[in-house]
Amino acid sequence: MLRHVRVVHERSQVLHCTACPSSFLYACQLKLHTATVHHKARPHLCPWPGCGRGFGTRGHAKEHLLLVHEKRRPFGCASCDKRCRTRALLAAHVRAAHGGGGAGGMQPAAPGRAPTPPGAPTPPGGAPAWGRTPPAYRPLSTPVASR
């Protein structure tokens, strides 16, 4: 716990990439960044027959398999039956087809809060059930900014 407080909250052990301005909290993050970004390592291959595309992490390979080959479309439009692979594609659809903003069919949120997905339960008072962007909507990996 003490290590967690030092590393995450006090940022006493920030590790910097020697090849670019990125920085990380943990050595494993720096190692993965160096291998996949600077050395272009792609050890995780797509298992789809005939594809053979490589990815830096298992998660990215699985995401590719589900979205590209299995045609998963997890983001649905609140105004029609259109479904999209990514929130960005859904937002573009909403702007083009419905003249809406970039929320991608999501209900607007209070300042500082994440948008509420259509049909998501809301607690009494009407506030979203979470206070920050839920993990499913966060980028897969984001380097920590130097402070």
Asked if residue 28 belongs to a domain, the reply is yes
Number of domains in the chain: 3
Asked if residue 97 belongs to a domain, the reply is yes
Asked if residue 56 belongs to a domain, the reply is yes
Give residue-wise pLDDT tens across range 47-75: 999 999 999 999 999 999 999 999 999 99
Q: What does pLDDT average to over the chain?
A: 77
C-alpha triplet 125, 126, 129: angle, nearest 5°: 105
Which residue range forms the structural domain that includes residue 31? 8-38
Residues 64 and 77 in one domain: no
Global pTM reads 0.52
Query: In the prediction, which pLDDT does 19 show?
Result: 94
Residues 79 and 67 in one domain: no
Query: In the prediction, which pLDDT does 138 show?
Result: 47
DSSP labels, 7-41: IIIS-TT-EE-SSSS-EESSHHHHHHHIIIIIS--
Please state, in angstroms and rounded to a whole number, the distance separating the CA atoms of residues 128 and 120. Answer: 8
Residue 146 near residue 21 (C-beta atoms within 8 A)? yes
Query: In the prediction, which pLDDT does 70 show?
Result: 92
Residue 122: pLDDT over 70: no
Asked if residue 12 belongs to a domain, the reply is yes
Asked if residue 64 belongs to a domain, the reply is yes
Asked if residue 61 belongs to a domain, the reply is yes
Query: In the prediction, which pLDDT does 121 show?
Result: 57
Query: In the prediction, which pLDDT does 141 show?
Result: 52
Give residue-wise pLDDT tens across range 123-141: 555 544 444 444 455 455 5
Residue 101: pLDDT over 70: no
Residues 82 and 62 in one domain: no
Q: Which of 95 and 144 is assigned the larger pLDDT?
A: 95
